[in-house]
Amino acid sequence: MVPRKFEYFAPTTLKDATSLLKKHGSDAKVLAGGMSLIPVMKLRLGSPSYIVDINRIPGLDSITAAGGRLTIGALTRHHAIETSKVIREKVPILAETAGWIGDPQVRNMGTIGGSLSHCDPSGDWGAAVIALRGSVTIKGPTKERTLAIDDFLVDTFTSALKEDEILTSLTVPIPPPRSGGAYVKLERRSGDFATAAVAVQVSLDAKGICSYVGIGLTALGSKNLRASKAETALLGKSLSPKTIEDAAKAAAEDAQPTADPLRGSVEYKTEMAKVLTRRGLNLAVQRARKGK
């Protein structure tokens, strides 16, 4: 199949892009990397009348670290994040997550902003950003606003973006010394969407007590979820095998999976939430203890 006919725009400023979105409303869609939009259009699961290609707008693909925070432009490709020296040094869980996304073609074309805006519960970025307690910056025709990632991810394929808004960047705190992160993923085959995945970020104080923890879940609910019970089970405690096991069990309680004939039953996915959280925590803690 091929897409239905549509009118194509390639604005060179955010003002022009958001004006086009405001003018055409729900009939318009933003094109970033196209890794989600193009298949939807090809299969005619969605047929927008207007496409607003934002790839000619400068400044949306930068990676900067300043003031204890890392900011990534919405048009930054997955491969650029995976290979960025700054990201590997400052927030390595993001580079690790990028390496799990799709195949080389997808990583070379797909963007972090497009992926987050698509709000696929099987998408990898939402869980990683949840683990870091990141936020997104959104630009509309007349104003700019910032939302915590938990508020931005609303439901399956539903973000907090209004029809005339564009996600322009993502910002996460740079973890302090004695921090570690991990993204662990179960997939049917290499490059597939997750059967289940877990993002974990922890920080330890000088005595080895957990001073920060963030845990995000992929493909275990109607959107990427925060494993709040699991986080509570760890914060302020020594991360012993028992504490980690208790947190893994709590993550399984936080999970809200649905049955999938291709990827398993509710019971199976719930068990995988526990297994992957345990693996992720053990790896993150190991990395944190090696940190300076």
Going from N- to C-terminal start, the domains of the chain cover 7-52, 63-173, 179-290
CA 156 from chain centre, in angstroms, equals: 14
Say whether pLDDT at 155 is over 70. yes
Which residue, chain included where needed, has tokens 């607003």?
A: 52
157-210 pLDDT, tens digit each:
999 999 999 999 999 999 999 999 999 999 998 888 999 999 999 999 999 999
* Fold match between domain 7-52 and domain 179-290: no
Q: What is the pLDDT of residues 223-253, one digit of tens each?
A: 999 999 999 999 999 999 999 999 999 999 9
| The CATH number of domain 179-290, selected from 3.30.390.50, 1.10.3720.10, 3.40.50.150, 1.25.40.10 | 3.30.390.50
The residue whose two tokens read 């973000």 is 159
Contact between 149 and 30 (Cβ < 8 Å): no
Torsion sign (Cα): 205, 210, 212, 215:
positive
Question: Residue 172's closest CA among 223, 217, 136, 226?
Answer: 136
Q: What is the pLDDT of residues 26-57, one digit of tens each?
A: 999 999 999 999 999 999 989 999 999 999 99
Sign of the alpha-carbon torsion through 281, 285, 287, 292: positive
Q: Which of 143, 233, 220, 236 is nearest to 184 (CA)?
A: 220
In CATH, the architecture of 7-52 is: 2-Layer Sandwich (3.30)
Angle at 143 between CA 140 and CA 148, to 5 degrees: 80
Alpha helices per DSSP H over 219-265: 228-234, 241-254
List the CATH code of the domain at 63-173.
Answer: 3.30.465.10
% residues pLDDT > 70 (the chain): 100
Per-residue pLDDT band for 292 (boundaries 50, 70, 90) equals low
Distance of CA 182 to the CA centre of its chain: 13
Please state, in angstroms and rounded to a whole number, the distance separating the CA atoms of residues 26 and 45.
15
CB-hemisphere CA count at 13 Å for 50? 19
